[in-house]
A and B are shown apart, each in its own frame.
Chain A
Amino acid sequence: MPTKWISRKDLKKLPDQWLKQYDVYAPIQNGHELAFQLVKESAQIVWDVPSNPRYPAKSLFLPQSEVLMSYDGILHSVEKVERPKVLFGLHPCDARAIRLLDHALVDEQNPDEYWKSKRQSTIIVSTACISPDESCFCTAVGGSPFNTADSDALIVEVEDEFCVYVLTEKGGVLFSKLPDAEDAQREKVEKLTKKVEAGMPKAFPKKKLHDNLLASFETDFWKEVSQSCLGCGVCTFLCPSCFCFDIADETVRKERVRNWDSCMFRTYSLEASGHNPRPTKMERTRQRVMHKFVYWVDLVGEIGCTGCGRCVKYCPVNIDIRAIAQDALHREFEGMKK
């Protein structure tokens, strides 16, 4: 796939051209915050985003509340024709999360058509993260601020110009008219990549972390970790790779909807009999961390956390998943596998 080059001035005009054919979603300023929202013109887009907009981009594919079916005596699927979309300006960690969610929501037997149709109609153009935030740790969990694996195209800012890695044919459509990058320009990007990555945390030893956490399952470690947890849903709702949802009926509107749900809520796993397999914050915190670092690894061979840092940054009591992982790595748990 080709690598292209473009000046800042030209790049800023590019989304305007896309707007003719696509709905473009990009980080724009919404009050005090940034959010991935529908763009009306290029000028709205915030180009230099050091840290991730708090509301994750997964909401464009798995909306927080989505109507699944309508009811008129029986339930009918809501079928929507998805407009072609460009999702622009997300960081590689968010792009990776979206790819991870494909594993969770699309299986051969029962694909989630709502997710799939939105996914197929969207071109993902991510921008490299050249000044990662304090809370960022994508390199620790197998990603990189310059990760090219999960997007249709990746844009890297170098000295006020931009290098565009076209990564799929889908992505190529948007940049077909640009000139190819020269070797000197590519070198600049590689240098920058090395420099930024060098300042980021080292990768967790995936296997050791997996085994340690499993061994810790029934230890007091989790009591310690969860003691200050409030039990709110901030970490999971803002997490780009959390996908749990609840299905509910809105009788007034005669709709069956799905809403994001959170394993941190008491009612999440509460059964009608009153039995709750995860009765306290300890089990719930454990589930969240284990899901990211153990169960995802068992299922797809990758850590399910993408290191975007949102849960670290917005947790009201500063429960830091990086610190939990580090802590688990450096402890000895009984019955630990060698």
Chain B
Amino acid sequence: MKNCYEPFPMHIERVVVETTDATLKSFELTFDRKEDCAEFFEKYNPGQFCQLSIFGKGEAPIGIASAAWEGNFVRFTVQKMGKFTSAIHAMRAGDPIGMRGPLGNGFPLGDWKGLHLLVIGGGCAFSTLYAMTKHILHPSHRAEYGEITALYGTRNSGLCLYKPVIEEWHNRDDMVVHQAIDVPEENWKYHVGFVPAVLEEIAPSPRNTVAVLCGPPAMTKFTLPVLTKLAFPPERIYTSLEKRMKCGVGHCGRCNIGHKYVCKDGPVFTLKELQELPNEI
């Protein structure tokens, strides 16, 4: 019996404290069984998520923050929030953990070939965008896409994820990276202000461009109108949603918006798709 609720046995390989306040940590998990690893990477597409599982603490859906080429591990960046996330924050390298996935649809990277990309992220929701960008920046994929513009906003510089890699990105000549923080700080070289305002300031061109937006609900709510104002058509604006989930495979019922299940039909939707659904996010 292939049971869709049974997690792969995994181990935590590495834990990285991402932010200065330690509310965000990245966990790199490796597979206990080779066949699970093969099964996972056969299906994995950036933008998907997994149900991480700690017995006694339940499960939590977390976006995948690593690209397949990085190696035989899966990275998750987790914010300490509730029962499960507090438990995983207490775990260390070497601890066992369960994982189900990859789940959901992921970004339709195939459809974006030949187009420019505008990547807009806010806070910890940047993780799947990070995986996607990493995937695209790989030499074997980079040529398939046009210009890449990234805008990443955090409340302050200490809350910025993946700092070393983002520093590298700043130095690359095949992409433009804008970073923003909410309030001014000493020695800050980049933008200051909320993401929607900064986006309006840098005013990227919508021509042949796909906008991918992931962030907290408030940011999403105010950024979408800016994109529309910049003349991005709704079918070219992609965003990834979050919901409370249990099964992750469209059975348990709770993550629906209208007749779509975020776990199965999402988490990535175009603005156009969302406009056709009831307003219940």
A–B direct touch, CB within 8 Å, in complex?
Answer: yes
- Residues of A whose CB lies within 8 Å of any CB of B are 68-69, 71, 73-77, 79, 104-105, 107, 109-113, 117, 214, 217-218, 243-249, 251, 254, 256, 258, 261, 263, 268-273, 275, 277-278, 283, 287, 290-291, 294-296, 298-299
Residues 245 to 281 of chain B near chain A (Cβ within 8 Å): 246-247, 249-259, 264, 278-281
Instruction: Report the minimal beta-carbon distance from A210 to chain B, rounded to whole angstroms.
Output: 11
B53 proximity list for chain A (CB < 8 A): 75
Q: A74-B9, A294-B259 are in contact. Are A249 and B249 (CB under 8 A)?
A: no
CA A117 to CA B1, docked complex, whole Å: 10
Is B242 at the interface (CB under 8 A from chain A)? yes
Task: Decide if A245 touches B249 in the complex (CB within 8 Å).
Answer: no
Residues of chain A contacted by B3 (CB below 8 angstroms):
68-69, 77, 113
Which residues B17-65 have CB closer than 8 A to chain A? Answer: 32, 53, 55-60
B96 and A73: CB pair below 8 A?
yes
A-B contact pairs, 26 of them (CB 8 A): A68-B3, A69-B3, A69-B6, A74-B32, A74-B96, A75-B53, A75-B55, A109-B249, A110-B4, A111-B4, A112-B4, A112-B251, A244-B254, A247-B5, A247-B252, A258-B5, A263-B254, A269-B244, A271-B243, A271-B244, A283-B280, A287-B256, A294-B258, A295-B258, A296-B259, A298-B258
Known: A110-B250, A245-B246. A295 touches B6 (CB 8 A): no
Q: Which of A111, A268, A290 contacts B254 (CB 8 A)?
A: A268
Partner among B58, B256, B257 whose Cβ is within 8 Å of the Cβ of A248 = B58
Cβ contact of B280, chosen from A111, A249, A278, cutoff 8 A: A278
**Could you tell me the distance in whole angstroms from the C-beta of A95 to the nearest C-beta in chain B?**
21
Interface size band for B: 35 or more
* Min distance, Cβ A242 to any Cβ of chain B, angstroms: 8
- Interface flag for B82 (CB, 8 Å): yes
Q: Are B9 and A263 in contact (CB under 8 A)?
A: no
| Contact status B251-A105, CB under 8 Å | yes
User: Are A273 and B81 touching (Cβ within 8 A)?
Assistant: yes
Residues of B within 8 A of A270 (CB): 244
Judge if B94 is at the interface, Cβ distance under 8 Å.
no
Report the Cα distance A273→B80, complex, angstroms: 10
* A247-B59, A272-B85, A290-B278 known; A113-B253 Cβ under 8 A: no
The chain A residue sitting closest to B256, CB to CB, is A295
User: A294 to B277, alpha carbons, bound, how many Å?
Assistant: 12
CB distance from B241 to the nearest CB of A (A): 10
B89 to chain A, nearest CB (A): 13
A105–B98 alpha-carbon span in the complex (Å): 23
Interface string of B231-245 (1 = CB under 8 A from A): 000000000001110
Q: Are B251 and A251 in contact (CB under 8 A)?
A: no
What's the least CB distance linking A249 to chain B, in Å?
A: 5
Given A247-B58, A294-B259, decide whether A113 and B280 contact each other with a Cβ distance below 8 A.
Answer: no
In the bound complex, CA of A75 to CA of B32 (Å): 13
- Among all A-B residue pairs, the 4 with the closest Cβ atoms: A272-B82, A244-B253, A298-B259, A110-B4
Given contacts A74-B9, A271-B242, 9 further A-B contacts (CB under 8 A): A77-B1, A77-B5, A246-B252, A247-B5, A247-B252, A254-B55, A272-B244, A277-B257, A295-B256
A111 cross-chain contacts in B, Cβ below 8 A? 4
Interface: B108 (CB within 8 A)? no
Once the chains bind, are A217 and B279 in contact (CB under 8 Å)?
yes
Complex Cα–Cα for A247 and B53 (A): 11
Contact of A247 among B9, B83, B247 (CB under 8 A): B247
Contact (Cβ within 8 A) B258 A69:
no
Are B6 and A77 in touch, CB under 8 angstroms?
yes
Q: Is the CB of B250 within 8 A of A107?
A: yes
Q: Which of B4, B9, B252 contacts A261 (CB 8 A)?
A: B252
A68-B243 in contact (CB<8A): no
Query: What is the chain B residue whose CB lies nearest that of A214?
Result: B278
Q: Is the CB of A110 within 8 A of B246?
A: no
Inter-chain contacts of A107 with B (CB < 8 A): 249-250, 264
Contact of A272 among B9, B32, B81 (CB under 8 A): B81
Asked if residues B251 and A104 are in contact (CB atoms below 8 Å), the reply is yes
Residue of B nearest to A298 (CB): B259
Q: Quick check: is B158 within 8 A (CB to CB) of the other chain?
A: no
Residues on B with beta carbons closer than 8 Å to the beta carbon of A247? 5, 58-59, 246-247, 252
Distance of A32 Cα from B8 Cα, bound (Å): 47
State A262–B118 Cα separation when bound (angstroms).
Answer: 40
Q: Which residues of A contact B58 (CB under 8 A)?
A: 247-249
B196 within 8 A of A: no
* A254 contacts across to B, CB distance below 8 A: 55
